[in-house]
Chains A and B, each alone.
Chain A
Amino acid sequence: MENIKTALYNLHQKHGAKFVRFAGYQMPIQYSNGIIEEHKNTRENAGIFDVSHMGQLFIKGDDSLAKDLEKIFPAELSNAKLNQSKYSFLMNEEAGIYDDLIITKVEGGFNIVLNAACKNTDFKLLSKLLENKYEMILSEELSLIAIQGPKAVQILEKIINGVSDLKFMNGDTFKNLKENIYITRSGYTGEDGFEISIKNDAAVVFVQKLIDEGASLIGLGARDTLRLEAGLCLYGHDMDINKSPVEANLKWAISKNRILEGGFIGCEKIKSQIEKGVSKIRVGIKPEGRIIAREKTSIFSEGDKNIGEITSGTFGPSVQAPVAMGYVENSFSKIDTKVFLEVRGKKYPAIISNLPFYKKSYVKGASK
């Protein structure tokens, strides 16, 4: 199997990265400071994430493309404003999730950011669903860099004038040196931040500038603890083809108008799940004490009934406690319900908890 290196590979190495194989890529799991330091750096200062393994798909087209995309995705795309981003799902007829993604209306079409492990199958599936009517480019020339944290805006503003005017879940084209780059205000950490799509050959110089302005590199390890504290799902763990957006507790991301008008893949199932309810649902889970419940840990009720399974769990460095997410039978999903987690053969108490575990500090002006 190939092991792809991103444009930033040598820079990661220079900063003491330990690498892991992730979706066919050599990605930094952590740097010399370690996951907790990196996590805290993002929460208190600004962290830089190389997410170039993610798919950056551009689909060229006009109003008819928006209409055709609405036959696939449960998002309102026909009335999307230029540079507006929407979180959405690629689903099957049973509303099982192939991928979760961000769709942004751009000049001349739509940009879609896809999960690394799903991007090639997504591409094939979308080409088929769109009947090859539109030009689709899954870029190999673009890197994707995220900068996240309370100081992300002031650091990026020093390099790219005007980014501080961006609203949450909105993007725009900016000039970096002489090149165009596309920046959205978004992220995956629960912090304010940006994602920057930039040509591979300009990525190293750009990231070095961010470092020189005081941001530091963050690996996939801290990316995981940050997103988990923020209550955000990781595809392949907290959601997959056997779970629907309603079960994943993400029905906020499905437009009410689109449910009313219908016509997207999985619509009937979503409608019926919203009307009749679901048997299992994603919840936040806080173990008591310090015990860490990882993926696949069984969840039991007070009456010792197996009611579900943890889908991700770790120690939350900002919460200063273990945190987890998982699916439980709907009747046990109420906040503060006491449950038990079976870790190494012993059962430990935990409670169903509100998400996020860590309060967000996104910028105001968020649009739905």
Chain B
Amino acid sequence: MSEVKYSKEHEWIKLDGDTAVIGITQHATEMLGDIVFVELPEIGSSVVKDGNAGVVESTKAASDIYTPVSGEIIENNQSIVDDPAKVNADPENEAWFFKLKITDKSEMDSLMNKDEYEKFSKESGS
């Protein structure tokens, strides 16, 4: 399994072969506050890098989820739809959002590694 990469929209992505697991970062959940609603892309649908791939709502507001790479959705995590609070509890493990079959692995190159993301999220503030 490759290293975890991060997008400027505060998603994390882990690639294993052709399969990418995608979720939102701890930093994102801290900015959003208590998450009370999650909408995920449908299995079988195609998503395009930086395109819309779901919605999370906190008690305060709704925010779009973007996919950091293009591909076809092969799995989505129903457990966070049923219990959105899981996203706050464990955003970077158990509360992954969806898995997709990646179209173009080179799209991973433009994403940040952990150190770069930490620097980015500190600078972008909350």
Q: Say how far B124's CB is from chain A's closest CB, in angstroms.
A: 16
Q: Interface range on chain B: under 10, 10 to 19, 20 to 34, or 35 or more?
A: 10 to 19
Closest A residue, CB atoms, query B31? A18
Contacts of A294 in B (CB 8 A): 61-62
Q: Which B31-89 residues sit within 8 Å CB-CB of chain A?
A: 33-34, 36-37, 39, 55, 57-62, 81, 84-85, 88
Chain A residues with a Cβ closer than 8 Å to the other chain, count: 19
Complex interface bits, A74-108 against B, C-beta within 8 A gives 1, otherwise 0: 00000000000000000000000000000000000
A-B Cβ contacts below 8 A, count: 43
Q: When A35-B33, A290-B36 are in contact, do A344 and B55 touch as well, CB less than 8 Å?
A: yes
Contact A225 B59 (CB under 8 A): yes
Q: Residue A221 at the B interface, CB < 8 A? A: yes
Contacts of A18 in B (CB 8 A): 126
Cα–Cα, bound, A290→B84 (Å): 10
Classify the secondary structure of A's interface with B: mixed
Cα–Cα, bound, A18→B126 (Å): 10
Q: Residue A30 at the B interface, CB < 8 A? A: yes
Q: Residue A292 at the B interface, CB < 8 A? A: yes
Complex interface bits, A14-58 against B, C-beta within 8 A gives 1, otherwise 0: 000010000000000110001110010000000000000000000
Q: Residue A315 at the B interface, CB < 8 A? A: yes
Q: Which A269-312 residues sit within 8 Å CB-CB of chain B?
A: 290-292, 294
Known pairs A221-B59, A291-B37; list 8 more (Cβ under 8 Å).
A34-B33, A35-B34, A35-B58, A35-B60, A36-B59, A222-B59, A292-B57, A315-B36
Q: Residue A200 at the B interface, CB < 8 A? A: no
Q: Residue A266 at the B interface, CB < 8 A? A: no
Q: Residue A317 at the B interface, CB < 8 A? A: yes
Contact B34 A34 (CB under 8 A): yes
